[in-house]
Homo-oligomer: A and B are copies of this chain.
């Protein structure tokens, strides 16, 4: 072998898309906060208020834990069925038909995945090397992980300041794309898209023959008794089957660490490829955990949702009183995405200084820039109320009021 050949091989890099994946900015911020907290505590005698993580501080329902443990005791520790345990898929199909109003769903239209994350990553992988679009702001993992992993070119369609849709901007991307990504309820804005908005999106997808990937991870966390509409339900009414919807048990049941979700589609090719990719990748979610979730949708979630609504109220009502902070009222999920531009300007600060000034004042957030790659929403930040109680929220509001009033 020649020296030349050796040097060529030495330079051969690993698969480029993997090199393009970024570590989550949220994890980085959480790590930084952890390092800075002792100093803050020593100086101020109080702790940081952590509004940066998407983790949930409430307990996973006991019924679910006990059901999983029972399945482990029954010896359900052998290979899961490819695509998911039939007993679970039957129950999911029933839930999709009755709760989500998606007609004609059968177990074979479903693939049980490792959380909504795997369901989404595999859905996007169907469109590797292609072009997609979705509303901005957008979940950081989508832009930092999923799209680089599948080498997807992604066009952000910015929502208006009140998080309504700019239809002109929306329509302008459709001739260029192979899929549209809708996250409803939306992370980080807390927006819940209305039936009418979803209809417009579905119509565009149908007209332009574009797949719709609908990420409904927060389907159950809906406030003020508002109705949640699944995109696939509307698509079915319109005879449009090129929809993949992804769900998870992580958010509805405060069970981010049990790693079970699912993808559903009436497009037989799409769901069969998701199944094949999932088998290839990890051979499925743990059997006992899948079987332990069969009765999960019988758990009463009203107290759980009421708690998030109380937190939303405390945060929204508090921030509303600070004139320079512009905030939309979240209708679902457990995030708020306020505009700090004016507040920063009043202090003579630049948007990129937001996080630092908030850390100095004991409130940890994720800068708005983590939720866009195209520079929209400068001066915004995501505030999560998933892992803080009302009392902690009140302290955070007090600190922000002191800083910005």
Q: Which residues does A use to contact B, with CB under 8 Å? A: 1, 5-6, 9-10, 12, 14-15, 17-19, 21, 23-24, 27, 55-56, 59-60, 65, 68-69, 72-73, 75-80, 82, 113-115, 117-118, 121, 125-130, 141, 145-146, 149-150, 175, 178, 208-210, 254-259, 269-270, 273, 276-277, 279-289
Contact = CB atoms under 8 A, between A and B. Distances in A.
Given A9-B178, A80-B257, A121-B281, 8 more contacts: A14-B269, A15-B127, A21-B277, A65-B73, A68-B72, A79-B256, A286-B286, A286-B289
A259 B283 contact: yes
A273 B17 CA distance: 10
Contacts of A60: 75, 77
Contacts of A125: 15, 18
26 contacts: A1-B208, A6-B209, A15-B128, A18-B276, A19-B273, A21-B273, A59-B75, A65-B72, A65-B73, A77-B255, A77-B256, A79-B256, A79-B257, A114-B114, A114-B282, A115-B282, A115-B283, A117-B281, A117-B282, A121-B282, A149-B280, A149-B281, A257-B288, A259-B286, A281-B281, A286-B289
Contacts of A282: 113-115, 117-118, 121, 259, 281-282
Nearest to A1: B175
B79 A277 contact: no
Which of A1, A19, A283 has the most C-beta atoms of chain B within 10 angstroms of its own C-beta? A283
Nearest to A128: B15
B79 A55 contact: yes
Contact of A126 (B14, B23, B178, B284): B14
A56 to B, nearest CB: 7
In this complex, the member of A21, A75, A82, A280 whose beta carbon has the largest number of chain B beta carbons within 10 angstroms is A280
Copies of the chain in the assembly: 2
Contacts of A210: 9
A157 B114 CA distance: 35
A345 to B, nearest CB: 36
Contact of A15 (B82, B121, B126): B126
B287 A257 contact: yes
Given A55-B78, A283-B117, A284-B259, A277 B149 contact: yes
Contacts of A127: 14-15
Contacts of A146: 280
Contact of A280 (B21, B55, B178, B209): B21
A12 B280 CA distance: 23
Contacts of A126: 14-15, 18
A19 B125 CA distance: 12
Contacts of A21: 273, 276-277, 280
Nearest to A276: B21
Contacts of A59: 75
A78 B175 contact: no
Nearest to A387: B78
Given A259-B282, A276-B23, A280-B149, A15 B270 contact: no
Contacts of A19: 273
Contacts of A270: 14
A11 B68 CA distance: 44
A209 to B, nearest CB: 5
B82 A288 contact: no
A15 B130 CA distance: 9
Kindly list the 3 A-B residue pairs having the minimum CB-CB distance in the complex, ordered from nearest. Answer: A257-B287, A114-B282, A145-B280
A125 B282 CA distance: 13
A191 to B, nearest CB: 24
Nearest to A2: B175
A129 B12 CA distance: 12
A77 B259 CA distance: 9
Nearest to A149: B280
